[in-house]
Amino acid sequence: MSDVTIDLSGLIALLIFFWSAALFLVVGIVNVLIANFRGPKKTGGVKKHPAFGFFAVAVVLMVLNLVAFGLLAYFVDANVDTFNDKLDAFALYAWLPIQIVIWIAGALIYNKIRK
């Protein structure tokens, strides 16, 4: 018998941060393409279309998720399992739903301020 065990605490948070960053990359590309093709051609171009606000906030959230993924990937072995379990719960039950609200609210606020 071997004493090798697999510890998966922290894995859920890693996956959520990584796939959230990937999803926001796709969403950002789609929104900048919409803004490019549907934006006014003469006055302001891409930045005048409301989809550009969603792109700008998606880029910020993508970078934030990538930084969180990188830090967690670096420190995941240094943390104790109970901390990683709490981090998994936070990422799954708090961060995942909150960042969707942050993305929509941030884009709407950005579009209001920009006008």
pLDDT in tens, 67-92: 988 888 877 767 677 777 888 888 88
Residue 108 lies in a domain: yes
Residue 4 lies in a domain: no
Question: How would residue 7 be classed by pLDDT, with cut points 50, 70 and 90?
Answer: low
- Examine the pLDDT at 26 and tell me if it is beyond 90: yes
Nearest to 45 by CA among 54, 35, 31: 35
Residue 21 lies in a domain: yes
Residue 2 lies in a domain: no
Cβ distance 61 to 102 under 8 Å?
yes
* Residue 69 belongs to domain spanning: 11-114
How many domains does the chain contain in total? 1
Helix spans in 1-115 (H): 11-38, 51-75, 81-90, 96-114
Q: Which two tokens stand for residue 5?
A: 């065990």
Residue 71 lies in a domain: yes
pLDDT in tens, 38-70: 877 776 677 888 888 899 999 999 999 999 888
Residue 3 lies in a domain: no
Residue 6 lies in a domain: no
Residue 52 lies in a domain: yes
